Chains A and B, each alone.
Chain A
Amino acid sequence: MTKLKDAIFEDVESITIRFAGDSGDGMQLTGTQFSNSAAIFGNDISTLPDFPAEIRAPAGTLAGVSGFQVNFSSEDILTPGDAPQVLVAMNPAALKANLPDLVTGGTIIVNTDAFTKGNLKKAGYTENPLENDSLKDYVVHKLPITSLNRAALEHIEGLTSKDIDRCKNFFALGLTFWIYDRPLDTSLEFIERKFGKKLPIIAEANKTALQAGYSVGHNTEAFQTRYHIKPASLEPGLYRKVTGNEATAMGLITAAKKAGKPLFYGTYPITPASDILHFLAAQKNFDVRTFQAEDEIAAMGSVLGAAFGGAFAVTGTSGPGIALKSEAMNLGIMLELPMVIVNVQRGGPSTGLPTKTEQSDLLQAMYGRNGESPMPVLAPATPSDCFDMAIEAFRLAVRATTPVCILSDGYLGNSAEPWLIPNPDDIEPIVVTHPTAPNSQNGSGKFLPYKRDPESLGRPWAIPGTPGLEHRLGGLAKQPETGNVSYVPAENQQMNNERAEKVARLANVIPEQEVVGPQSGDLLVVSWGSTFGAVRSAVMRLQKAGKTVSHAHIRYLNPFPKNMGDILDRFDRILVPEMNMGQLIILLRGKYGTHNFIPFNKVQGRPFTISEVADRIESLL
Chain B
Amino acid sequence: MTEVIQLTRKDFVSDQTVRWCPGCGDYAILAQIQKVLPELGRPKEDFVFISGIGCSSRFPYYMDTYGIHSIHGRAPTLATGLKIANPNLSVWVITGDGDGLSIGGNHFVHVLRRNVDLNIILFNNRIYGLTKGQYSPTSEQGKITKSSPMGSLEQPLNPISVAIGAEATFVARTVDTNVKHMAEMLRRAAAHKGTSIVEVYQNCVIFNNGAYSYATDSKTKSENVLELEHGKPMIFGKNRDKGIRLNGLNPEVVSLDAVDESELLVHDETMPEPSLAYMLSRMRQPAFPEPIGVFRDVQKPVYEEGVMAQVKQAKAQKGEGDLAKMYGNADTWEVVSSEFDDEYTSVLFHGENTADRDVAHALLTDTLADLSPKKPLTAHVDISLADAVARLKEVNVGFLALVDDDGNLAGVFTEWDIFTKVACKIKDMSQERVKDYMTPNVTTLGRSDTIAHALHLMAINHFRHIPIVNEDGKPEGVISFRSVVHFLEENFAPGKTNGKS
Binding site for B on A (CB under 8 A): 1, 4, 6, 9, 11, 36, 39-42, 186, 228, 231, 233-242, 250, 253-254, 257, 262, 264, 266, 283-289, 291, 293-295, 297-311, 313, 327-328, 331, 335, 421-424, 463-476, 484-485
Contact = CB atoms under 8 A, between A and B. Distances in A.
Contacts of A41: 333
Residue of B106, B314, B323 with most chain A CB atoms under a 10 A cut-off: B323
Given A257-B323, A302-B77, A464-B48, A233 B338 contact: yes
A373 to B, nearest CB: 13
A158 B427 CA distance: 29
B82 A309 contact: yes
B333 A42 contact: yes
B330 A305 contact: no
Contacts of B45: 464-470
Contacts of A469: 45
A313 B110 CA distance: 20
B317 interface: yes
Given A250-B326, A283-B321, A309 B335 contact: no
Interface string B150-184: 00000000000000000000000000000000000
A305 B50 contact: yes
B328 A421 contact: yes
A468 B46 CA distance: 11
A473 B88 CA distance: 20
A228 B443 CA distance: 14
B43 interface: yes
Contacts of B440: 9
B327 A422 contact: yes
A303 B335 contact: no
B427 A238 contact: no
Contacts of B75: 301
Given A262-B85, A294-B107, A36 B331 contact: yes
Contacts of A485: 16, 61
A40 B335 CA distance: 9
B70 A253 contact: no
Q: Which of A291, A463, A467, A472 has the most CB of B within 10 A?
A: A472
A289 B76 CA distance: 18
A134 B13 CA distance: 83
Given A257-B323, A285-B314, A298 B82 contact: no
A100 to B, nearest CB: 33
A169 to B, nearest CB: 19
A240 B332 contact: yes
A239 B78 contact: no
B490 interface: no
B448 interface: no
A289 B306 CA distance: 11
A231 B461 CA distance: 10
Interface string B31-60: 000000000000111101010000000001
B198 interface: no
Given A239-B332, A305-B50, 16 more contacts: A1-B428, A238-B333, A264-B85, A291-B307, A293-B80, A298-B77, A303-B81, A304-B77, A304-B81, A310-B86, A421-B324, A424-B323, A467-B45, A470-B66, A473-B67, A474-B69
Of residues A241, A302, A421, which shows the largest number of chain B Cβ atoms within 10 Å of its Cβ?
Answer: A302
Contacts of B44: 467, 470
Nearest to B318: A285
A241 B331 contact: yes
B315 interface: yes
Contact of A295 (B50, B106, B332, B427): B106
Given A4-B436, A285-B319, A421-B328, A305 B79 contact: yes
Contacts of B342: none
B47 to A, nearest CB: 8
Give the 9 A-B CB pairs with smallest separation, nearest first.
A301-B77, A305-B81, A309-B85, A286-B321, A474-B69, A302-B81, A305-B78, A305-B82, A284-B314
B431 interface: yes
A291 B84 contact: yes
Nearest to B110: A294
A238 B307 contact: no
Nearest to B69: A474
B340 interface: no
B337 interface: yes
Contacts of A233: 337-339
Nearest to A281: B310
B320 interface: yes
Interface in B232-248: none
Contacts of B77: 293, 297-302, 304-305, 328
Contacts of A301: 70-71, 74-78, 80-81, 107
Contacts of A40: 331, 333
Given A283-B321, A464-B48, A476-B69, A306 B81 contact: yes
A328 B71 contact: yes
Contacts of A240: 327-328, 330-333
B68 interface: yes
A421 B339 contact: no
B326 A286 contact: yes
A302 B307 CA distance: 14
Given A285-B319, A293-B77, A470-B44, A335 B335 contact: no
A473 B336 CA distance: 54
Given A6-B436, A240-B331, A308-B68, A253 B326 contact: yes
A262 B308 CA distance: 11
B71 A236 contact: no
B328 A238 contact: yes
Given A294-B107, A467-B43, A475-B71, A241 B330 contact: yes
Contacts of B320: 285
B428 A266 contact: no
B335 A186 contact: no
Contacts of A295: 106
Given A291-B80, A421-B332, A285 B317 contact: yes
A423 B326 CA distance: 11
Given A285-B319, A294-B106, A295-B106, A4 B89 contact: no
A587 to B, nearest CB: 27
B394 interface: no
B501 interface: no
B321 A472 contact: no
Contacts of A36: 331
Given A242-B330, A285-B317, A464 B66 contact: yes
Interface in B309-358: 310-311, 313-315, 317-321, 323-324, 326-328, 330-339, 343-344, 347
A463 B110 CA distance: 26
Nearest to B72: A327
A472 B12 CA distance: 12
A302 B50 CA distance: 12
B311 A237 contact: no
Contacts of A242: 330
Contacts of A288: 311, 321
Contacts of B449: none
Contacts of A297: 74, 77, 106-107
Nearest to A241: B330
A121 B259 CA distance: 79
A100 B336 CA distance: 39
